[in-house]
């Protein structure tokens, strides 16, 4: 309990991303576009879409801590999307329009499942928090790599006023998700923990790549940021997040690697 509260306090008190304080100065627009067009397009779309998914619908019994987290998380995601969209426009790229609030059918169905009993609600919470920690780790890694590329190109303004904060925000979000997942998994029954593991293993897709049409975009992002090192730099660390939260650090079926390979295969096809 204390760790979740501590992580929540960190999310709520971290330095915000203030749009008017961002310095969008780009020394070499063509070079930045060539290096980061695919990751920018992917990240901006994901940031604009995830904030409109009504994730709290999954957990009708969610407690005050989740409500407070989602309030800040949603504001952060919207702010990230607006900042990335402005950067894209300055580079001559076309951002994804802001998404209208929508509630996917599977969110409604899972919400019905969560209403069935407190025990099933705890399972949904475990899946939500674990997948959240995994995807925030992926986002944090992507922003860190984008920031590294910008610093190597001496794009200091974007580093100082935008990307270091994006990375810090995703890190804060991940810390809350992970703490909440640990709390849930530490208080549930063995059958619930097995069910959470089973659901995560068989349903996980990288954030923003759940639909087949979006997987080539994710593959282009992986290629731009990790190249042939994608397994060591992206898939394995995310897999380790899941193993730590779901299986006490013990190895699990390499489902994250399989999910990334699926995206790469879709792009190749």
| Cα gap 114→167, rounded to integer Å | 32
pLDDT of residue 109 exceeding 70, the answer is no
Per-residue model confidence as pLDDT tens digits over 128-145: 999 999 999 999 999 999
- Write the pLDDT tens digit of every residue in 219-264: 999 999 999 999 999 999 999 999 999 999 999 999 999 999 999 9
Distance CA 239, CA 256 (A): 6
Q: Is the pTM of this model over 0.85?
A: yes
Q: What is the structure's pLDDT at 176?
A: 98
CA proximity to 22, closest of 118, 144, 166:
166
Q: What tokens appear for 74 in the block?
A: 């949603």
Q: How many residues does the chain have?
A: 269
pLDDT of amino acid 211: 86
Q: 216: Cβ–Cβ under 8 A, 6 or more apart, which residues?
A: 263, 266, 267
Is the model's pLDDT at 2 over the cut of 70?
no
At a CB cut-off of 8 Å and minimum separation 6, what does 142 contact? Answer: 39, 43, 221, 225
Q: Which domain holds residue 232?
A: 2-268
Instruction: Give pLDDT, residue 118.
Output: 84
CB 213 within 8 A of CB 203: no
Contact 241, 134 (CB under 8 A): yes
Contact 181, 245 (CB under 8 A): yes
Summarised one tens digit per residue, pLDDT across range 179-221 is 999 999 999 999 999 999 999 999 899 998 988 999 999 999 9
Does position 86 have pLDDT exceeding 60, yes or no?
yes
Q: Please classify residue 160 by burial: count the beta carbons closer than 10 Å to its beta carbon, then call 0-12 exposed, 13-18 middle and 19+ buried.
A: middle
Mean pLDDT estimate for the chain = 91
Number of domains observed in the structure of the chain: 1
With 50 as the cut, is the pLDDT of residue 105 above it?
Answer: no
Radius of gyration over every alpha carbon of the chain, rounded to an integer in angstroms: 18
* 14-73: pLDDT as tens digits: 999 999 999 999 999 999 999 999 999 999 999 988 766 666 666 666 789 999 999 999
Task: Please give the structure tokens belonging to residue 127.
Answer: 């899946």
| Region 87-91 average pLDDT | 98
The pLDDT assigned to 58 comes to 66
What CATH number is attached to the domain comprising 21? 1.10.620.20
Alpha-carbon dihedral 125, 126, 127, 129, rounded to 10 degrees: 80
């Amino acid at each position: 309990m204390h760790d979740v509260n501590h992580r929540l306090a960190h999310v709520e008190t971290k330095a915000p991303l203030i749009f008017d304080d961002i310095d969008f100065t780009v020394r070499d627009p063509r070079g930045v576009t060539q290096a980061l067009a695919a990751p920018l397009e992917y990240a901006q779309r994901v940031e604009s879409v995830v904030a409109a998914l009504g994730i709290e619908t999954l957990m009708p019994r969610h407690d005050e801590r989740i409500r407070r987290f989602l309030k800040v998380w949603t504001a952060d995601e919207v702010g990230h999307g607006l900042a990335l969209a402005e950067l894209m426009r300055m580079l001559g790229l076309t951002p994804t329009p802001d998404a209208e609030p929508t509630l996917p059918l599977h969110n409604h169905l899972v919400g019905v499942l969560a209403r069935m009993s407190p025990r099933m609600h705890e399972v949904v919470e475990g899946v939500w928090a674990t997948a959240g920690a995994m995807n925030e780790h992926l986002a944090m890694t992507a922003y860190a790599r984008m920031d590294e590329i910008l610093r190597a190109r001496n794009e200091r303004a974007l580093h100082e006023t935008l990307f270091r904060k994006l990375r810090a925000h995703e890190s804060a979000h991940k810390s809350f998700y992970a703490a909440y997942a640990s709390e849930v998994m530490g208080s549930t029954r063995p059958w619930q923990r097995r069910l959470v593991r089973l659901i995560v293993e068989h349903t996980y897709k990288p954030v923003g790549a759940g639909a087949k049409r979006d997987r080539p975009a994710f593959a282009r992002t992986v290629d731009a940021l990790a190249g042939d090192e994608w397994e060591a730099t992206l898939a394995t660390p995310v897999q380790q997040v899941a193993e730590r939260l779901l299986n006490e650090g013990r190895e699990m079926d390499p489902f994250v690697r399989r999910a990334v390979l699926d995206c790469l295969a879709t792009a190749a096809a």
